Structure 1
Amino acid sequence: MGTLRPFILSEDARSQARFYAESLGGEIKSLLTHGQAAGAEGDHRDKVMHLCVTVAGENSIFMADALEPFTQGAGMMLDVSYPTRSEAAEAFARLSSGGTVKHPFARQPYGLHYGELVDPYGVTWMITSDDPSEG
């Protein structure tokens, strides 16, 4: 069976990864620049070629600095589910800081706690918890 790992292109992978590690709990596990990996010179030397950040437990997100123009966050949504409503609400609050809340984090009629936001880097997140407690 395979393992799915999101890979996000970024205008600044280092800053974006730090934001996710701080917001969701985690750490940058590895970072390799084009200069380190391929001996690149000039503009690409310090650009991130590959970065791995773990978030919300042991969930890995891979990242790299984009070398060509792109539309950040287009056509992608990430979902993180937490065992407790309070953990989910805290992650939602941290991720939405500096971003845009599309749907406030709240209990839904179907029983799930759900919120949706666009983070400061243009990535859409769905934060959920099936914790039965109210809030």
Structure 2
Amino acid sequence: MALINPHINFNGNAEEAFRFYQSVFGGEFAQIMRFKDLASEEFPVPENEANKIMHIALPIGNNILMGNDVPEIMGRVNENENRSKISVSAASKEEADHLFNGLSAGGTVEYPMSDSPWGSYFGMFRDKYGIEWMIDFDSKYKGKV
């Protein structure tokens, strides 16, 4: 079965954001590649872009959260736009609370963790980097998601 692996763009703070995500989810980065790693005569990289993240990947369970910094030549990412949300299905209420509390730190809670009208334990927020998250635990799907 196919896996869905979210990929998110940043304006120069991808590494900071991913270190924050790593502090909540744990694990080790599968890959960190900087723009300077691709520099060549055919692909010159300006000095102010050299250390920015070209690709970063953090395995989370069977999925991978990926991201990058958008080079200035391509314009800026609107961090307040309505991006697609990243939905995380937790294995327990405790894990849901841990992820919600960790990832929402410094962000804006849109819907606090609580029993939802559709029967799951659910919360929604925008983290301090502008990324929108939904955390969900549904005992009906425990071990199936």
Q: TM-score range by the shorter chain?
A: 0.7 to 0.9
User: 44-53 or 20-29: which moved more?
Assistant: 20-29
Output the aligned Cα RMSD.
Answer: 1.8
- The partner residue of 2:69 within 47, 59, 65 is 65
Matched with 1:44 is 49
In the TM superposition, 1:1-135 aligns within 5 A as 2-11=2-11, 12-39=13-40, 40-55=45-60, 57-67=61-71, 68-72=75-79, 74=81, 75-131=83-139
AA matched with 1:102: E
Q: More deviation in 85-94 or 27-36?
A: 27-36
SS in structure 2 at match of 1:87: helix
Q: 1:101 touches 1:118 (CA, 8 Å); kept in 2?
A: yes
| C-alpha distance in structure 2 between counterparts of 1:50 and 1:115, whole Å | 29
- Kindly provide the CA deviation profile for residues 26-75 of structure 1, in whole angstroms up to 9, marking residues without a partner as x: 332211111112242412211111111123x2320111111121202632
The Cα shift of 1:93 comes to 0.5
**Does the CA contact (< 8 Å) of 1:18 and 1:27 recur in 2?**
no
Query: Per residue, is there more strand in 1 or in 2?
Result: 1
Letter in 2 for 1:35: K
Q: Which sections of structure 2, spanning at least 5 residues, go unmatched?
A: 141-145
* TM-score (normalizing by structure 2): 0.82
